[in-house]
Amino acid sequence: MQRRIEGNWQYHLLTAILKGQFMINPEMAMGFGAQISGLLNSKGIYQNDFQALNEINVLAYDEDGDQVPEDIAEEGSSVMVLPIKGTMFKYGTWCTYGMDEIAYYIKHFASKENVSAIVLDIDSGGGAVNAVPPLLDAIKFVKESNKPIIAHCDAACSAAYWTASACDYIFSNNNISSVFGSIGVMISFLDLMPYYEKQGAKFHEVYADQSADKNLAFQQLLKGEYDQIKAEMLNPMAIQFQESVKSYRESKIKLDTPGILSGATYPGQKSVDIGLADAIGTLQDAINYATVKSWANQ
């Protein structure tokens, strides 16, 4: 399945890194330091020397659970599997899928009569806040099409868990590496002003008399004062995240579990026990479950 990538993907990637709001597992975020530094200090991001992802990795399975070619015959009923893996960004790069791309193909396949269900194969510690709305919209589209959408997850943290929670049913792949949770919001900001000031640069910001509140939270952030940006941006988003998960998981989630809505993470079986997931199962189990659910919807 051919990708639909933005021509200015480099700009979108750097903007997301430097200015984006993130819902991401902190252990994963800390591990990106060297990679981010390499991107910011290299001109290679604007050169055509990447191993490009030319196609979306879409898998198709028939009613018997056997994998079939993606361009399946119209008369066959199939479950489509789409990947949500790695750090989630709204826009794709040559090396990673954008969630707007995945959302497009979720809708694309859900609208086909011969597709009976969708499985999202998730292995992600989260990512950018703006990567979530396209996926939630696509999941809603599948549900309104009266087709099941199932999440199969190894890691499903932060933005990835918000996505999984919107699905009809959640499989945790195993009880060894699978991890769920990290329900929370953070902002990542790299302040380069001290570096450039050492090089002799001077920064000036001048606001109109009528614009006293413009960028005020950002100005406070630069001073190391975080209360306003938390009150105006992070806290409302965190509350929305919490309320969304509670709505999607309803009676399944055990809200009295310490840390469950404040950023804690849990392994596979524990995630099932506290209602963040529904069962331990492989991708094949998720495909089989999606097939059975699609029969019930007919």
* Three state DSSP letters for the chain: CECCCCCCHHHHHHHHHHHCEEEECHHHHHHCHHHHHHHHCCCHHHCCCCCCCCECCCEEECCCCCEECCCCCCCCCEEEEEEEECCECCCCCCCCCCHHHHHHHHHHHHCCCCEEEEEEEEEECEEEHHHHHHHHHHHHHHHHCCCCEEEEEEEEECHHHHHHHCCCEEEECCCCCCEEECCCCEECCCCCHHHHHHCCCCCCCCCCCCCCCCCHHHHHHHCCCCHHHHHHHHHHHHHHHHHHHHHHHHHHCCCCCCCCCCCCEEEHHHHHHCCCCCEECCHHHHHHHHHHHHHHHC
8 A C-beta contact, residue 89 and residue 99:
yes
pTM of the model: 0.81
Q: Output the pLDDT for position 35.
A: 52
Low-confidence spans in the chain with pLDDT less than 50 = 11, 34, 45-46, 49-51, 73
pLDDT score for 96: 81
191-224 pLDDT per residue, tens: 888 989 999 999 898 999 999 999 999 889 889 9
DSSP strand pairing (115-124 vs 179-181): unpaired
**Domains and their CATH numbers in the chain:** 9-297 (3.90.226.10)
* Residue 214 near residue 207, CB atoms below 8 Å: yes
Give every CB contact of residue 196 below 8 A, 6+ residues apart in sequence: 203
The pLDDT of residue 73 is 44
